[in-house]
Structures are given as C-alpha cells and as structure tokens.
Amino acid sequence: DAGVTQSPTHLIKTRGQQVTLRCSPKSGHDTVSWYQQALGQGPQFIFQYYEEEERQRGNFPDRFSGHQFPNYSSELNVNALLLGDSALYLCASSLGQGYNQPQHFGDGTRLSIL
C-alpha cells in the first residue's frame, strides 16, 4: 500500500522563477492538503483540494496556486519565487475533509531559492 509520494525530493531555483511540485495521495484518499515548513518552524497550511476544487486556503499570496486531478493527485505551483519561499513543502492526504480524519504526510520536497 503506497503512502503519499512527492516529487521531486529536492529542487533548486532562483528568484523570480516558477516551480511545480507534485503529490500522489495515499491509496483510497481523495483529499490533498499542502503545507510549507520553514526551517525550525512547524508546518503552515497553504490550501486543501477536494473534488478538484480548492476548498480552503491559508494565509498565502496568490503566487501559490494548485490543482487536483481526477485521480486525486495534486500539484502546487509557486510563481515569482522569493528567497523566503525556501522551505520543505509537505503534501498530506486524507479520506474526506473531516476534521477528525488523520492526515498522512509525504516526505516533502525541499525547495531552495538562490
């Protein structure tokens, strides 16, 4: 039973560039959430996708956008990269949007901005 898989594992970009991160949810899960974890901090919620729509969003600018595909996989896109976007980006999946549904996390994508 495959867990949450994310690609790539590491990425180096320069300021102003654009990046796309990918996530495949755990088998049987239909909801995907994205989190940003800066060094030494706890994860911060970016947004959540369910039924191919963004259902809720954290306090992140419009430079951060996403997509969910019919097979429940998801992408996170970040435009006009800033140095402050350097972080570990975590994808989490769950069955439904329920607040008591445990979220299963992938190992993340480490994004470094030069």
Q: Which residues contact other proteins by CB under 8 A?
A: 4, 6, 31, 33, 35, 40-45, 48, 55-56, 58, 90, 92, 94, 96-108
Cβ proximity to other proteins: between 43 and 66 the closer is 43
Quote the radius of gyration of the chain (alpha carbons, Å): 13
Cβ proximity to other proteins: between 24 and 103 the closer is 103
* Least spacing, CB of residue 93 vs other proteins, in Å: 11
Cβ proximity to other proteins: between 79 and 93 the closer is 93
C-alpha distance from residue 50 to each of 16, 61, 96, 111 (Å): 29, 20, 8, 25
* Least spacing, CB of residue 16 vs other proteins, in Å: 28
Q: Where are the beta strands (DSSP E) in the chain?
A: 5-7, 10-13, 19-24, 31-37, 44-50, 53-57, 64-68, 74-78, 87-94, 104-105, 109-113
* Least spacing, CB of residue 37 vs other proteins, in Å: 8
